[in-house]
Structure 1
């Protein structure tokens, strides 16, 4: 026992042992310091992201509301007094709920408040819906660029997948692009339906031109002309992805406003009877084309990202990823092509007979 104790004492007193312990503690302190710095850096980045989200939501809400108000020919002085501060306040509150992981509660709460306010003061309902729309646009945009299922130079592509897995992965890659397109189209369709007076100065010329075209025979209700007209719009939405989807967003909003305004000017039974048969396919194709345009925009922005990181990662990798994104958008456009072909045939040959049958004309 004495020998063993002497050996332990000798080892502990050995200068090499002391140096080893010092080195270990030094390395451990470095690791702790690095971890603390990385945590602090992550917190700083999260704070900057959150602040940017507050600013983005507020600015977008004000921009949409002011644009709609000016379209309705409301004086700018009247907008600034109450509506703009209220829009900013509601926007900041909703952003706070989103960042506090109360996403469902935030959206559901604002929707309920909007419905209740509609029976009291519809103009305040419009403000609530604008803030909700802005937040949804920002959330979808963020999810598009943080989607772990999408192509990325930082993610390894999975091989040996079954056909069903490939389809599921494809749907995961495009779901937020399609959701963003649906949000733009459906929201402004509802805006135009419930607030036609706001957008009538913008929509009436196109609405009257469409009516005159049908009555004069300029607008030919035949399969080929209808398909060419509709697909040309869808193709412009797809191509506009190169221009950061600005024309794409405009076409989604404008077509939504036109559909909603038309519905507000006709008896609902008449409108649905002569719209639903072909409209289900046609409007679905429009929203899909919008999603394809957003996917092209993502591919373009990915290339720009490659230019900034070309020293760290090969630019060719970014090109490959962008080409895969564009291929996804082309697949969507193939579906759009098929849907619009069927929709054009139904509109030219079946919609009027079906509508008359439903209305008993």
Structure 2
């Protein structure tokens, strides 16, 4: 990668985070508030979380769910894309995913032993949790693009048209009297395409983090946790 391309990618990533900082903050707060709620109200959540955990254990023991790199990678990547596309449905799916993942992690920590749970979560969690947060923010950003695009399709931004000197095929500056539906589509796309690009950048970053997390979860976390448990007599 040349220095100019690297600089372009760096600028694009920086812009994507800055432009959507409030959506990233929202995703962060949803995840970690859910986590803290589960830590402090573990007993109250047992009726909800225990059936899910027992069901997952049965699936693992029966072989329906395997803990190989491929299975974890495919599960996590599909979750990332579901959160992204699910953003189109008024952000409901990324919202549910953030809350559920936060509750699940917090529930395990609340049940303890805390140190052992953290040993099995932290190594891959430092990549997976940010990956989930960023994927959800990407879904929210995708929703923002669609809403802004439709809004500017219905109500064209004539200030944007004047600033960019956008004209008809006849060379006449577009205005309320001569704007066509095709013009509206093109102008709304030009005005809002950077939001879609931002969402795709965030999606790509989350996917990279999830790939790293899956590798660590399979090949590093078990040995890491076992080493500390065995050598420091944590059980």
Q: TM-score, normalised by structure 1?
A: 0.52
- Tell whether the 8 Å contact from 1:245 to 1:294 is kept in structure 2 after alignment: yes
The number of residues matched between the two structures is 200
Structure 1 residue 251, shift from structure 2 partner: 1.2
Structure 1 residue 261, shift from structure 2 partner: 1.1
Using a 3 Å threshold, how does the CA distance of structure 1 residues 172 and 317 change in structure 2: closer, same or farther? Answer: same
Q: 1:333 aligns with which of 197, 200, 203?
A: 203
Structure 1 residue 222, shift from structure 2 partner: 1.1
Structure 1 residue 191, shift from structure 2 partner: 0.5
Matches within 5 A, 1:279-298: 279-298=125-144
Q: 1:218 aligns with which of 41, 44, 64?
A: 64
Gaps of 5+ in 1: 1-161
Structure 1 residue 319, shift from structure 2 partner: 2.0
Residue 181 of structure 1: aligned partner = 27
Matches within 5 A, 1:1-361: 163=8, 165-310=11-156, 312=158, 315=184, 316-360=186-230
Structure 1 residue 311, shift from structure 2 partner: 8.1
Name the Cα RMSD after superposition: 2.0
- Tell whether the 8 Å contact from 1:207 to 1:258 is kept in structure 2 after alignment: no
Using a 3 Å threshold, how does the CA distance of structure 1 residues 199 and 283 change in structure 2: closer, same or farther? Answer: same
Counterparts of 1:245 and 1:212, CA distance in 2? 31
Q: Which secondary structure does the structure 1 equivalent of 2:20 belong to?
A: helix
Could you give the per-residue CA deviations for residues 267-326 of structure 1, whole angstroms, max 9, x where no partner exists?
Answer: 001101111111111111100101101100110110231144138566332222333211
Residue 18 of structure 1: aligned partner = none
**Greater RCO, CA 8 A, separation 6+:** 2
- Tell whether the 8 Å contact from 2:16 to 2:199 is kept in structure 1 after alignment: no
- Tell whether the 8 Å contact from 2:59 to 2:65 is kept in structure 1 after alignment: yes
Structure 1 residue 165, shift from structure 2 partner: 4.9
Q: Which secondary structure does the structure 2 equivalent of 1:242 belong to?
A: coil
Q: Which secondary structure does the structure 2 equivalent of 1:220 belong to?
A: coil
Q: Which secondary structure does the structure 1 equivalent of 2:66 belong to?
A: coil
Counterparts of 2:11 and 2:197, CA distance in 1? 17
Q: TM-score, normalised by structure 2?
A: 0.77
User: Which has the larger Rg?
Assistant: 1
